């Protein structure tokens, strides 16, 4: 079994000339949800996600050797403007990964980042953001240690991204990622995401995800606080066990292409996630009235047309509408005609499964 020691940088080289790298990394949407964690970003249960294609963060990291003054030295720009309020988050990320990347304090970093999706759309940008940053850290490490294999590069990138934001570890590769130890996935790990190792049925090729932007406001409860409330939660243990069972079932569904079972599992997982929030102490609700309007419209449409469209939710009010590629035209018509009205400024983002981070 791979342990954290595997990721400690031990090569001699700690300094190199100035250079830079650019990576794009996508967001991802979980079907079996990660909700609840132990120390050091270890998930309380395994999760499975589809990597997305269009919702991405693009990050350039330029590095220059400097005298190590005991601090992390960097500037951060978001959409070409200095963004001071992001810096504590990045500093914390560097702190968390320092023991695995002891060379970080030998460089001055200039970090430029931008998202392909609308700013403050309520979309979790931490997954794509932390993953893009981790890829760049690994590009630097690769220059320090050119012997590194591609497998190690990706595994450590996922490991580092996890320390930034748990779900970010599922954004390094595509198209279907499992994170967290599970009996049916012998290579699975709590430390990093792995690609779904079995054949995926045609029905799920290029699976579509249209993200309906219901509420772009700041979330009332952050996911950090939400995860924390799973400690001492009355239903936590059962929920964690359920996630194991659901992941076994989802494995079969993805192999056999059973869309009816997929819909039941995906929607139940989404509502269970929010049920955990509603039964936390203190309790909270992240769905908005329009979230429920949309869910009901999807159910109505599915009943009337038998088109296998369903929804999932992340830790917010937005709705991810999931459907097979072959139903794209009808479902996009439905979204435009019947669901867009429940979105802020009628906004939604058309996305689908993707292949993971890319070096630009």
Residue 43 or 107: the one with the smaller Cβ distance to ligand PMV is: 43
Which part of the chain contacts ligand PMV (CB under 6 A), choosing from 3-11, 30-38, 208-216, 317-325?
30-38
d(CA 233, CA 280): 6
Token match 């009996």: residue?
A: 183
Minimum CB distance to ligand PMV, residue 309 (Å): 21
- For the chain, how big is the Rg over CA atoms in Å? 20
Can residue 124 be called a binding residue for ligand PMV (CB under 6 A)? yes
Beta strands at 42-43 and 37-38: parallel, antiparallel or unpaired: antiparallel
Check binding of 36 to ligand PMV (CB under 6 A): no
Is 30 among the residues that bind ligand PMV (CB under 6 A)?
Answer: yes
Residue pair 212/348 in contact by the 8 Å Cβ criterion: yes
Is there binding between residue 280 and ligand PMV (CB under 6 A)? no
- Pairing, β 73-78 against β 19-32: unpaired
Provide the minimum distance between the beta carbon of 7 and ligand PMV in the complex, in angstroms, as a whole number.
19
Residue 96 tokens read as 């968390």
Q: Does 165 bind ligand PMV (CB under 6 A)?
A: yes
Q: At what angle do helices 87-97 and 150-164 cross, to 10 degrees?
A: 130
Computed from CA positions of residues 318, 37, 169, 126, in that sequence, does the dihedral angle turn out positive or negative? positive
Give the C-alpha distances (Å, rounded to integers) separating 301 from 235, 308, 344. Answer: 33, 10, 21
27 lines the binding site for ligand PMV (CB under 6 A):
no
Q: Are the CB atoms for 170 and 49 separated by under 8 Å?
A: yes
Contact segment (CB under 6 A) with ligand PMV among 80-88, 115-123, 161-169, 278-286 equals 161-169
Q: x/- site string to ligand PMV, residues 226 to 265, per CB under 6 A?
A: -x--------------------------------------
Minimum CB separation of residue 344 from ligand PMV in Å reads 20
Structure tokens at 67: 């005298």
Per CB under 6 A, 270 contacts ligand PMV: no
Residues at the site binding ligand PMV, with contacts judged by CB under 6 A: 30, 33-35, 47, 124, 126, 165-167, 223, 227, 273, 314-315
């Amino acid at each position: 079994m791979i342990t954290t020691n595997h990721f400690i940088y031990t090569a001699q080289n700690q300094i190199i000339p100035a250079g830079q790298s650019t990576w794009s990394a996508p967001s991802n949407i979980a079907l079996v949800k990660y909700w609840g964690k132990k120390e050091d970003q270890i998930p309380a249960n395994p999760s499975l996600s589809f990597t997305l294609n269009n919702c991405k963060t693009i990050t350039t990291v330029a590095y220059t050797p400097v005298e190590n003054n005991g601090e992390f030295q960097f500037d951060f720009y978001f959409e070409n403007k200095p963004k001071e309020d992001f810096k504590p988050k990045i500093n914390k990320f560097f702190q968390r990964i320092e023991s695995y990347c002891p060379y970080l304090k030998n460089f001055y970093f200039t970090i430029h980042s931008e998202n392909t999706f609308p700013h403050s759309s309520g979309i979790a940008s931490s997954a794509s953001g932390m993953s893009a940053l981790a890829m760049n850290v690994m590009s630097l490490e690769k220059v320090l240690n050119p012997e590194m294999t591609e497998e190690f590069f990706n595994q450590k990138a996922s490991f580092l991204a996890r320390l930034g934001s748990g779900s970010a570890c599922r954004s390094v590769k595509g198209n279907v990622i499992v994170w967290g130890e599970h009996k049916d996935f012998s290579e699975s790990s709590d430390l990093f995401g792995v690609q779904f190792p079995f054949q995926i049925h045609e029905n799920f090729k290029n699976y579509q995800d249209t993200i309906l932007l219901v509420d772009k406001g700041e979330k009332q409860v952050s996911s950090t606080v939400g995860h924390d409330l799973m400690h001492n939660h009355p239903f936590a243990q059962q929920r964690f066990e359920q996630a194991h069972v659901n992941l076994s079932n989802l494995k079969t569904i993805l192999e056999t292409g059973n869309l009816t079972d997929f819909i039941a599992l995906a929607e139940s997982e989404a509502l269970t996630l929010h049920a955990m929030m509603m039964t936390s102490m203190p309790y909270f609700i992240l769905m908005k009235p329009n979230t429920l309007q949309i869910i009901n419209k999807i159910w109505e449409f599915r009943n009337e047309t038998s088109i296998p469209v369903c929804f999932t939710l992340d830790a917010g009010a937005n709705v991810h509408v999931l459907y097979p590629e072959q139903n794209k035209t009808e479902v996009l018509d439905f979204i435009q005609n019947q669901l867009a009205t429940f979105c802020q400024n009628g906004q939604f983002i058309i996305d689908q499964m993707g292949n993971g981070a890319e070096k630009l």
